[in-house]
């Protein structure tokens, strides 16, 4: 008994020593800000975080500062309307948008790190956090779907960051995930590269349709995107779902512009 306890203690201290040595020889950089871990940090907070949150991907390196900024901590400031001041003839008069973080600071570094640094694991982490927030609000649905990427952008990037967020969010919420419900009917320009709301509306109007393989009539659906800057993209995705007979659509984005021109719901 005493012997096996001593042996276990010995093995774990050998592992701790090896880990320290590897950390020293190959210091890891934070996946978000790119800085080397502090000697006393060593990304240990992230390891604790993995244990506390269901489905959080292990193996990421995120420093304590970035981690604390990514974990949403303002539960009373998360609900918005997506285009609550719709254009004439808008088929979606009011669309709730759930958005736990403002698109600034660390969130503003993390999203490009996912897209351009090609870090789908980081998007998985954001999806887990988003799902956990939605769960704390007792949100439920029949299906979770991501905003699809255009085929050109999919080819360039290799993955859809919205899908990488939606999948773990669905797992946390225990809601079925379907990545192929929404389809792009045409390629669009990047919303962030367009100036003015009229050109942004025109860029995405009617850009989405529903796959012939799906019948969404009567379903309640959560549409997930990584960022909501104007809300137009999510709005158009929701319009396509409503047109196909969905009963209720709710939008969720990990971060967004809180100056979004709409009145806030809460």
* Binding footprint of Zn ion on the chain (CB under 5 A): 30, 32-33, 63, 66
CA distance 32 to 70: 10
> Residue 28 or 154: which CB sits closer to Zn ion?
28
> Residue 32 or 234: which CB sits closer to Zn ion?
32
Contact 96, 157 (CB under 8 A): no
> Residue 63 or 194: which CB sits closer to Zn ion?
63
Closest distance to Zn ion from the beta carbon of 168 (Å): 20
What sign has the CA pseudo-torsion 78, 255, 96, 211?
negative
Closest distance to Zn ion from the beta carbon of 109 (Å): 8
Report how far apart the first and last C-alpha atoms of the chain are (Å, whole number): 59
CA distance 61 to 243: 42
Closest distance to Zn ion from the beta carbon of 102 (Å): 18
Q: Which of 58, 56, 65 is nearest to 37 (CA)?
A: 65
Contact 188, 153 (CB under 8 A): no
Q: Would strands 248-256 and 79-82 be described as parallel, antiparallel, or unpaired?
A: unpaired
Would you tell me how many other CB atoms lie within 10 Å of the CB of residue 238? 28
Residue 127 exposed, middle or buried by CB count within 10 Å (0-12, 13-18, 19+): buried
> Residue 99 or 110: which CB sits closer to Zn ion?
110
CA distance 42 to 155: 35
Closest distance to Zn ion from the beta carbon of 108 (Å): 13
CA distance 147 to 183: 8
Closest distance to Zn ion from the beta carbon of 105 (Å): 11
Closest distance to Zn ion from the beta carbon of 75 (Å): 24
HEC string of 54-81 equals CCCCCCCCCCHHHHHHHCCCCCCCCEEE
* Longest CA–CA separation in the chain, Å: 78
> Residue 104 or 180: which CB sits closer to Zn ion?
104
> Residue 33 or 201: which CB sits closer to Zn ion?
33
Closest distance to Zn ion from the beta carbon of 30 (Å): 3
> Residue 63 or 128: which CB sits closer to Zn ion?
63
Closest distance to Zn ion from the beta carbon of 257 (Å): 23
> Residue 35 or 186: which CB sits closer to Zn ion?
35
Contact 163, 237 (CB under 8 A): no
């Amino acid at each position: 008994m005493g012997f096996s306890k001593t042996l276990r203690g010995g093995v774990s201290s050998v592992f701790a020593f090896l880990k320290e040595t590897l950390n020293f020889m190959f210091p890891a950089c934070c996946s978000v800000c790119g800085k080397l871990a502090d000697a006393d940090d060593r990304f240990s907070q992230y390891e604790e975080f993995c244990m506390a949150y269901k489905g959080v991907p292990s193996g990421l390196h995120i420093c304590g500062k970035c981690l604390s900024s990514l974990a949403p901590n303002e539960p009373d400031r998360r609900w918005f309307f997506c285009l609550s001041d719709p254009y004439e003839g808008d088929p979606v008069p009011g669309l709730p948008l759930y958005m736990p973080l403002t698109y600034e600071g660390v969130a503003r570094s993390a999203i490009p790190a996912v897209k351009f640094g090609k870090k789908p694991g980081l998007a998985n982490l954001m999806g887990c956090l988003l799902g956990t927030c939605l769960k704390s609000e007792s949100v439920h649905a029949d299906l979770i779907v991501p905003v699809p990427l255009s085929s050109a952008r999919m080819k360039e990037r290799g993955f859809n960051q919205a899908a990488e967020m939606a999948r773990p969010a669905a797992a946390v919420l225990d809601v079925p995930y379907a990545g192929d419900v929404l389809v792009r009917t045409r390629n669009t320009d990047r919303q962030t590269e367009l100036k003015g709301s009229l050109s942004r509306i025109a860029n995405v109007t009617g850009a989405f349709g529903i796959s012939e393989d799906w019948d969404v009539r009567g379903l309640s659906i959560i549409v997930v995107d990584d960022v909501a800057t104007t809300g137009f993209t999510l709005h158009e995705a929701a319009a396509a779902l409503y047109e196909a007979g969905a009963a209720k659509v709710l939008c969720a984005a990990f971060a967004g512009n809180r100056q979004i021109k709409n009145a806030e719901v809460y």
